[in-house]
Structure 1
Amino acid sequence: MSTSLSDSPVYAGLFGDPEIAAHLTPQAEIAAMIRYEAALAEVEARLGLIPAAAGPAIAAALDGLTVAPEELAAGTRSAGVPVPALVARLRAAAGPHGSHVHWGATSQDVLDGALLLRLRPVLEILERRLRRLTLALLAAAEAHATLAMAGRTRSQIAAPTTLGLRIAAWAAPLGRCLDRLAELRPRLLVVPFGGAVGNLSVLGEAGPAAMDALADALGLAPAAKPWGTERDGVVELANWLAMVSGLLARIGADLMLMGRSEIGEMTAGEGGGSSTMPQKANPVLAETLVALGRQNAGAAATMAGALLHTEERDAAAWSLEWPVLPQMLLATGAGLLHAGDLAGSLAPRPARMAAMLEAGGGAARAEALAFALAREMPLGEAQGLLKQAARALAAEGGRLADHLAPLCAARGVAVPEVDDAPMLANAAAFIARLRAAFAHLTEPGSA
């Protein structure tokens, strides 16, 4: 077993995400830290905080500079963070202007800045996939809006519903997660720059202006104040990742149940084979969605501990984020890839759905029969008749309507006729309303 499934050569196909992983490598982090330091030097030179020539010279010296992660290992073990070792390397590269590298900044500024610079493209990847998945599910919901099937509550057949409405229940919260991401971004992607204890005192009265200029240079939002110990943004991101993963897991769980051998209402994806049972087609991707959702649920709880940042810096709380957040990003990315594959291969089996709806002698229409009888008698009395008929059905088999008939005759009424027309009409209407609610969503690249 690898220490991380996401980059295991064996398991990466299930739990990995190469596109997102490219932004989370040590090399990517070092490159982002260098970018932060170069931008800081240029900003401070323009504001007269360091010599005017120092900014362009430092930026030129750092442009294209690569630092091997191994060069920072010893310094990281000593300082607890890689920044001091990196700054020493950058100062050497900047030559006579090296003393002005990292002017007024602190390690947390640089590491947080590098995180945000890498999160920005990662969030764009996740948004693109989530948008595509949501639109695919909306289209599937519309295509199967009136395909009747047995609705289940607490694992039991309850009343008729439609496949479209079930798929719509997958799509709706994912669409809302796109809205949540848009709301989250401006709270998360905020420039980190506070210096030693979060007041930029070594920059004098130019501190606020330097912070704003650095935000502009890095393409981040300006901050009202330095926020180093205020980890609500990264924890909100973790919660969002856990929410998306949990919603994807819900899809996986439904697909696993619908595809059970004795149910067989729908399949999705290519089933995985068994090492010993030739007939098996295991729901591998659906299972993986459930596993990834559970993984991120636990990780989000761990990330909540990062909120306990004491005083002006707390490395014990801060370093808690480093192993957890990247894995959450990868898990969410992998889940979206798998969910996209499943959404594109949904294969309903209408005959099996019809059979499941009629299983149990038509008991799925007990609610409809009770309310239809309530036109002739009080609802409580009508429900009592259906309970008696249901008990007889469970004991003797047959059809619910046949057990209900003598009970109705004893009260001088006939067994009412019920059909699924109202349910089908409502399902189609609700799906149309959902599509209208998400009219602002467009296919990635089409807007």
Structure 2
Amino acid sequence: MSASPFDSSIYRDLLADRETARLFTDSAEVRAMLIVEGALARAQGAAGLIPEVSAAAIHRASLELQIDPGSLASGVDESAVPVPALVRRFRDEMQAPEHAQWVHYGATSQDIMDTALTLRLRQVLARTEERLTAVLTALAAQADTHAALPMTGRTYGQAAVPTSFGALAAAWGRPLVTLAEGLAPLKEQLLRVSLGGAAGTLSAMGAGGAQVRAELAQGLGLGDPGGSWHTARQPIAALSAFATQVTGALGKMGADLTLLGMTGIGEITLPASGASSTMPQKRNPVLPAALSALAAQTVGLNHTIQAAQVHTLQRDGSAWIGEWLALPQVCIAMNRALDIAATLAEGITPNADAMRAALSANHGLIHAEALSFHLAHHMPRPEAQARVKALCNRAVAEDRDLSDLAAETFPDQDLAPVFADEAALGLAPVDARNFASAARAAVSLLSGTAP
């Protein structure tokens, strides 16, 4: 196995989102840094900080030059960053020293690398929006369609009271609605240029530094932070926390699907399943298992990124490198989890017969709570609870259904509504449909079509 399954040609289709992974290749990083260097020169030319003719030449070269990432490796073990080598290669490849001397004027390596990262994170989050839209759309359809499909509600792994499959789909999707609503503020916080110079003061650019930063932000379509964020890593930490919440919500969905598809339960059919190498009857819940695994992995990676918020003084190497080790995997895991969840949400088929069988299993004891509350209208509630508990014990001991024993014990009571699965759903159908409406509103928000 490779050091990271996300980079593995064997495991990448299971655990990695290829579109996101491409944004974290060496080639993508070099291309993004070149774009930043070109945009910086153009901003400095517009501000009169460097000759406009040189700014135009540098900007044009940044779009045309091809620099081999491998050629930047020399010296990174000493400087920890590839920007000095990139600048040297850029200047050499331009073959115009009178213009090339202005490349990277007044900036520092972290400015170029953080801004280049931000350009790629913008594409990461565009992919996130796309897949989040797909998941919410599919879960809204499941919730609407199956709002009143009764199934066993389970707490601590035990049958509790009836719920509906639509309500379960809503439980999977409701956290995603909140996250979708928080995506725009996250992007506003995160998608900003970095330009602070050696110690965050932009001293090399003099009085024109603020104008250059504003021009650079406009040229790249990013926000102007109004100052240096070399050591203010909260936006990166916020992205990691967001990804952890996304994968966590989807991990719950994966865990539920694994349990509901177990032999002996079989209340759902997955759109795709894995075969065993030796047992021909097996249909392994591979995609739900991957969701749970990605959630657990992201939690661990998130710890590294949250700890890396402690960047000391004006610049910090170790904390910054800590981000490099974890952030790409966090982004890849988030978007792969969303992709898997969309596939599952679009293709899950509930097994209504199995769900009804589970509701009537175990002597119909799932209706015990409803019976006790019904009887509480006719006797003190403690007495009602005690009498229902006694009936439950008899049902097990005599291998009889609770509904039959209740009818015999309370012949003057109309107990049909108590033991009707649909009548016992409470707010489950309403909650399912309310979620569907909220999910569609969130999708409109993501697409920019909300009123």
How far off its partner does 1:434 sit? 2.1
How far apart are the structure 2 equivalents of 1:55 and 1:362? 79
- Secondary structure of the residue aligned to 1:274 is coil
- 2:441 maps to 440
How far apart are the structure 2 equivalents of 1:323 and 1:329? 12
1:431 and 2:435 matched: no
Aligned-partner residue type, residue 157 of structure 2: S
How far off its partner does 1:403 sit? 4.6
- 1:278 maps to 280
- 2:54 maps to 54
TM-score of the aligned structures, taking structure 2 as reference length? 0.94
- 2:35 maps to 35
How far apart are the structure 2 equivalents of 1:395 and 1:240? 51
How far apart are the structure 1 equivalents of 2:398 and 2:319? 63
- 2:305 maps to 303
Question: 1:275-325: per-residue Cα shift (whole Å, max 9, x none)?
Answer: 111111111111111111111111111111111111001110001011211
1:121 to 115, 120, 123: 123
How far off its partner does 1:100 sit? 1.1
TM-score of the aligned structures, taking structure 1 as reference length? 0.95
How far off its partner does 1:423 sit? 4.3
Q: Is the 8 A contact 2:177 2:438 kept in 1?
A: no
- 1:78 maps to 78
66-75 vs 364-373, which moves further: 66-75
RMSD: 1.9
Aligned-partner residue type, residue 437 of structure 1: A
Aligned-partner residue type, residue 249 of structure 2: L
- 1:21 maps to 21
Q: Is the 8 A contact 1:131 1:175 kept in 2?
A: no
For structure 1, which runs of at least 5 residues remain unmatched after alignment?
A: none
Q: State the aligned residue count.
A: 444
Aligned-partner residue type, residue 97 of structure 1: H
CA separation of 1:165/1:254 partners in 2, compared to 1, >3 Å: closer, same or farther? same
Aligned-partner residue type, residue 35 of structure 2: R
- 1:416 maps to 415
Aligned-partner residue type, residue 435 of structure 2: L
How far off its partner does 1:66 sit? 1.3
How far apart are the structure 2 equivalents of 1:152 and 1:303? 35
How far apart are the structure 1 equivalents of 2:112 and 2:83? 7
How far apart are the structure 1 equivalents of 2:349 and 2:436? 22
Q: Is the 8 A contact 1:256 1:283 kept in 2?
A: yes
Q: Is the 8 A contact 1:401 1:415 kept in 2?
A: no
Q: Is the 8 A contact 1:376 1:413 kept in 2?
A: no
- 1:230 maps to 232
Aligned-partner residue type, residue 148 of structure 1: P
Sequence identity (%): 41
Question: 1:111-147: per-residue Cα shift (whole Å, max 9, x none)?
Answer: 1011001111111011101111111110011111111
For structure 2, which runs of at least 5 residues remain unmatched after alignment?
A: none
- 2:172 maps to 170
How far apart are the structure 2 equivalents of 1:316 and 1:134? 39
How far off its partner does 1:413 sit? 6.5
Q: Is the 8 A contact 2:151 2:163 kept in 1?
A: yes
Q: Is the 8 A contact 1:268 1:343 kept in 2?
A: no
- 1:6 maps to 6
Q: Is the 8 A contact 1:404 1:415 kept in 2?
A: no
How far apart are the structure 1 equivalents of 2:169 and 2:277? 32
Question: 1:57-91: per-residue Cα shift (whole Å, max 9, x none)?
Answer: 21122222111111111121121111111111122
11-20 vs 395-404, which moves further: 395-404
How far apart are the structure 1 equivalents of 2:25 and 2:41? 25
1:183-202 alignment, distance < 5 Å: 183-202=185-204
How far apart are the structure 2 equivalents of 1:121 and 1:62? 20
Q: Is the 8 A contact 1:37 1:110 kept in 2?
A: yes
